[in-house]
Amino acid sequence: MNEQDLQQEHSGDLFTAEEAQDIAGQNAAAPMPSALERAVERVRAVQGARSGGAGWDRLFERYPETRGEKLDAEIFEGVRGGLTPTEAYQQSRLRAMQEENRLRQSAARAVGSLAGDGGPQEFDPFLAGLNHKN
């Protein structure tokens, strides 16, 4: 293919020189937000998503058992610290499950009493005959 064939093939794909100058002028006229302005916008968007009743509604929707129960102070502290209610509840549940698991493992490792468990003793006919008084 020669150059003329390539130009004809891509004539609809390319901008003319005037169109390219117009586009460049429009883009140059639009002020670019600074990094600080973009960061502030992102923080506001996150805070907006985490504030208000929508976060609590999502918690009650995802965990219906929370609607009727009293929530721990740990959850409210997490929300005040910037977490969504759902995130704070999940962290609270995770801590409780880890503590329960730790206690269960400690109980499994504990050594029993040397005196025995105090449960019922099996009847031994030989010992009963030996201890029998005539």
**How many Å separate Cα 113 from the centre of its chain?**
43
Give the pLDDT score at 90.
Answer: 93
Give the pLDDT score at 115.
Answer: 59
Q: Where are the domains of the chain?
A: 35-105
Examine the pLDDT at 116 and tell me if it is beyond 70: no
Give the pLDDT score at 93.
Answer: 93
Average pLDDT, the chain: 77
pTM for the structure as a whole: 0.45
What is the spatial distance between Cα 76 and Cα 82, in angstroms, rounded to a whole number?
A: 10
What is the spatial distance between Cα 37 and Cα 45, in angstroms, rounded to a whole number?
A: 12
Choose between 41 and 52: higher pLDDT: 41
Give tens-digit pLDDT for 53-89. 678 888 888 888 888 888 889 998 988 888 888 999 9
Q: Please report which confidence band the pLDDT of residue 105 belongs to, taking 50, 70 and 90 as the band edges.
A: confident
Give the pLDDT score at 18.
Answer: 77
